Structure 1
């Protein structure tokens, strides 16, 4: 619909320009000053009309009537000296038909005729027979052109199944061009860190958190000097999000970030806790927050853009993973399974024990490939978004892998009620997923232990197996080197969210892969687990 509106605007602008040129040529040749003044007034009317209809397409019928009245009035006031200006009467019905269809054409003609009657009676303008004939000719032509433009209106307004894709293509092309000029980048955590630094320069706080999200607030980043009531900041941040203004409670405060006073919504909420030794009343907090919100508008626009880009990227990635999993399940997996049936048929006709043994080996390899494809399908389809929490998603993944591989997987969860941001959870989940897959495929282990600790905005996840470890004699170091692409991806995912990835051999043997996401200067440390889930 937006594309059709743009096309209509271009055609209307071209039609008006053509009328101005067609009438202006003879007037310039005759040096008709009054006619040129009238033509200039018509140009201003059409320019204003073009601006109004581009910004308010829903008022098309009103704009058509007002334009018809203004054009008819101008033509009648200069008709005595410049009858050629009457040619402009053909334009309003044409552009009205393109805007509103047939109803616009008749509304425009009705407005022209009504205006003519009123102007002639009130201003004393006299129309000669030649003027009446000229006006009738141009209005008739306007009616015919209006019917043509009504057909164009119906054609442009018809549903186009490709229109959303064309619109998306235009927006993506524009995004690619704009991204070259984004000097601040599109990494939400770094942009959020700059905002918290600016707030801390003005407000001495012991605990400062930046929350983001529309329906559910999640901590993006925090800077903490002590553990002074971070749970309370979450409650006050939600209150500030709903009220849209500064909220305070004793030593705790929260205020929304706004990119523009005229735009609804708040990309982020800053919440903090003052030290017990500080009196918030001495800071004139409302005035300071107003100044901060104003000074941070540019940074808030940067943050909002980064968050929207991240959400778009994650949605596109999830859709592509689902598509790949469908293709693998319905294509490759079925073809390999059918190959297994063919091997079974050949094995039943083996002519010697040696041939039967080779068929059995081949069948075993086909079964392993099918299992690997199924694991890949599970990996692609499992996401955090469908689960209650990051820990619940990891538990579901562990159950599926345990069933497919026969390896026991124990999952220990220690999570607070406050969730991480969705893109942070997604990256941590994929790192855990890759570590579990590596343990199941390469470690030759009988047990894998997963410990998931989440204390938003920080988190720590470790995957420990009792397998071969990384010793030179174990042969697993070669496996890890051969699978360095997967390890590199894990490190890239950790770097994207500002986390640290470590590989180590615990004292009892095996291998531990851990990823730690600091909350802003500190990494959450394990406490007593609040939930234990065992998958076997």
Structure 2
């Protein structure tokens, strides 16, 4: 049975080796019938066909196939020796020799520099020729040996060419398949890791918080932050520790210590402030987190004492961040892969909905319109039912349009989170007849891309609940982003929590899961005199006086 692991290219070369025998066998048979009596040619042609048929019936690397090729060489030499015209069958030597070279790359050692089996066949043929010499008529001996040696040499050259072609073909095939094999291996490992490790282990924010907490224990350090690279020219603050809110510099181009630490992968110390909110003289350090020779993130340290942060602290920072670079890089890569996969899946779902059920519902609406136009006069009851059905189809089409818009909405790396939320709220409010009131506050620093995506989805779900279930007339959307702190609040003047449909409760549960994924807190509370407020707060401790100040019912 053929090895199922063989590629299509391998089967191609096996087919070449297999069908090479058919034209050569036909050629030597016709040549023999022309120059010799049929009774001397046909029996040997039949025996040669039987020897060659072994390769038709078994796998090319099987032992029987190997013996069959040696049998073919033996039959060719015996036929040429025992017939009056010896040259008729000698061209067939190319078939077993070239076939051996072509099939040499089908085994476990697929790429062979030399056709070993073809060399062995040549040695075997030479030995058989040597054994035939004493039995050849002296008058024909020289002519026969020259013809046999020439045919054998030509067959060996053909084997070398066949081996080279097979080597080139399989090398190109493996080169083309190697990136896919490596990608498959990496994705398989990623799947195993994703299944075995808990979610917090691959959370960049959680790992960054651990780093910050460890470094903050170093004596004389007042403020610490972990900053990672983003898709833009600015960095993102993953976590921080500070008695008061620190406005960290997120542009390495504006801070020589950060730029030197990132490029040189060496800690940098000095009196240059790392946060814009620093007042007075400070001492600071930028410590790079490196994994496998790559800079992953920067740990920014500040002290209000001018001489407190010095190179003497570097060994302590080394101990506090040991192994953190690799763990953080793994989490960031996992977050990026998950974000890319999620975005692609949302786009795919949007395309399928648009091309599938949305088109079918539209056709259904047209069909109802045609049915209403064909109703006879006086069929008021049927007309009323069709109008109700048409209204329901229109409502479903509208909901699908909102869903498509939500699926296709993403945070633009240039516009920012608040811009994406504002655009979505305006579009939904305009379509649903809601008056939207926006309060936006976002600085130049950005949150990690995965965090921004989750906050956008939470805001979208809150706006959708207000539109579908609250029966509201006004919508207040507040976005405050000051990394690592963020607060998104959506308030409506609808019927309140008591009127929420089961679908609305399900949406609140989804929002809670998203908030937990980014280590945020989700709260809901009633709005006076009526309505609901949904708020998600990220890193509330980084913003004194806010965050947990609002009392509300936490969603489980």
TM-score by length of 1: 0.65
Alignment of 1:318-397 (within 5 A): 318-351=343-376, 352-385=379-412, 388-397=415-424
Is it true that 1:208 corresponds to 2:224 in the alignment?
yes
Question: What residue is the counterpart of 2:210 in the other structure?
Answer: 194
Out of 268, 290, 293, the residue aligned to residue 259 of structure 1 is 290
The structure with more radius of gyration: 2
Aligned to 1:483: 504
In 1, the alpha carbon distance for the partners of 2:194 and 2:161 equals 43
The alpha-carbon deviation at position 147 of structure 1 amounts to: 5.0
- Is the CA contact (8 Å cut-off) linking 2:296 and 2:325 kept in structure 1? yes
1:105-120 equivalences in 2 (<5 Å): none
The Cα offsets for residues 121-180 of structure 1, whole Å up to 9 and x where unpaired, read as: xxxxxxxxxxxxxxxx99x97994685154233234149987755543322212233456
The 2-side partners of 1:329 and 1:163 are apart by 37
248, 272, 290: which is aligned to 1:230?
Answer: 248
Quote the residue 2:84 is aligned against: none
Question: Displacement, 1:211?
Answer: 0.6
Q: Which residue of 1 aligns with 2:479?
A: 452
Unaligned 5+ residue runs, structure 1?
9-93, 106-136, 527-536
Are the aligned partners of 1:192 and 1:221 in contact in 2 as well (CA < 8 Å)?
Answer: yes
* 1:406–1:265 Cα change, 3 Å: same
Alignment partner, residue 305 of structure 1: 330
Structure 1 residues 457 and 228, CA gap change in structure 2 (3 angstroms): closer
Output the CA distance in 1 between the equivalents of 2:364 and 2:544.
Answer: 50
For the Cα contact (< 8 Å) 1:210–1:268, is it kept in 2? Answer: yes
Moved more, 293-302 or 160-169: 160-169
Q: Find the aligned partners of 2:462 and 2:496 in 1 and give their Cα distance.
A: 13
Residues 468 and 328 of structure 1, relative CA distance in 2, 3 Å threshold: same
Matching residue of 2:238: 220
Q: Is the 8 A contact 2:523 2:536 kept in 1?
A: yes
Distance 2:180 2:170 in 1: 19
The CA distance in 1 between the partners of 2:375 and 2:404, in whole Å, is: 34
CA distance in 1, matches of 2:344, 2:417: 19
By how many angstroms is 1:488 displaced? Answer: 1.1
Pairwise CA distance, 1:207: 2.0
Kindly state the Cα deviation for residue 387 of structure 1 after the two structures are TM-superposed: 5.1
Quote the Cα distance in structure 2 between the aligned partners of 1:257 and 1:146.
Answer: 56
The question of whether the paired residues in 1 share the 8 Å contact of 2:227 and 2:298 is answered with yes
Provide the rounded CA distance (Å) in 2 between the counterparts of 1:143 and 1:523. 83
2: CA distance between counterparts of 1:521 and 1:458? 6
Once the two structures are superposed, residues 52-108 of structure 1 have per-residue CA deviations (whole angstroms, 9 ceiling, x without a partner) of xxxxxxxxxxxxxxxxxxxxxxxxxxxxxxxxxxxxxxxxxx99xx99x99x98xxx
Equivalent residue, structure 1, for 2:490: 463
The alignment partner of 2:163 has SS state of helix
Residue in structure 2 matching 1:514, options 510, 531, 535: 535
Aligned residues of 2:212 and 2:224 also touching (Cα < 8 A): yes
Cα separation, 1, equivalents of 2:180 and 2:355: 27
Q: CA deviation at 1:195?
A: 1.1
- The answer (yes or no) to whether the contact 1:415–1:455 under 8 Å persists in 2 is yes
Distance in 2, matches of 1:382 and 1:518, equals 25
In 2, are the aligned partners of 1:221 and 1:519 still within 8 Å (CA)?
no
CA distance in 2, matches of 1:294, 1:214: 26
1:242-281 paired onto structure 2 within 5 Å: 242-247=263-268, 248=270, 249=272, 250-260=281-291, 263-275=292-304, 278-280=305-307
Q: Distance in 1 between matches of 2:175 and 2:427?
A: 43
SS, match of residue 528 in structure 2: coil
SS of equivalent to 2:323? helix
**8 A Cα contact 1:233 1:273, kept in partner:** no
> Could you tell me whether the CA contact under 8 Å between 1:217 and 1:238 is conserved in 2?
no
- Alignment match, 1:427: 454
Instruction: Look up the match of 2:342.
Output: 317
Q: The residue matched to 1:241 in structure 2 has which SS?
A: helix
The 10-residue stretch of structure 1 (290-299 or 404-413) with the greater mean CA deviation from structure 2: 290-299
Q: Write the deviation string for residues 241-275 of structure 1: whole angstroms up to 9, x where unpaired.
A: 34533343152534243334xx4431111113212
Query: Structure 2 unaligned runs (5+)?
Result: 11-103, 115-151, 273-280, 548-556
Q: Give, in whole Å, the separation in 1 of the partners of 2:303 and 2:205.
A: 23
Q: 1:504 aligns with which of 521, 525, 532?
A: 525
DSSP 3-state at the match of 1:266: strand
Which secondary structure does the structure 2 equivalent of 1:357 belong to?
helix
Residue pair 2:439, 2:477 contacting (<8 A) in 1 also: yes
Q: 1:483 to 1:228 in 2, by over 3 A?
A: closer
Tell me how far 1:462 sits from its aligned partner.
Answer: 0.6
Note if contact 1:211-1:270 (Cα within 8 Å) is conserved in structure 2.
yes
CA shift in 2, pair 1:425/1:510, >3 Å? same
Q: Any idea what the Cα deviations from partners look like across 1:368-423, whole Å, max 9, x if unmatched?
A: 00000011000100011355110010111112212322222222211111111111
Task: Write out per-residue CA displacement over residues 325-380 of structure 1, whole angstroms, 9 at most, x where no aligned residue.
Answer: 01111111111001000000001122311211111111111100000001100010
The CA distance in 2 between the partners of 1:377 and 1:244, in whole Å, is: 45
- Which moved further from structure 2: 321-330 or 222-231? 222-231
Relative distance call for 1:164 and 1:363 in structure 2 (3 A) is: farther
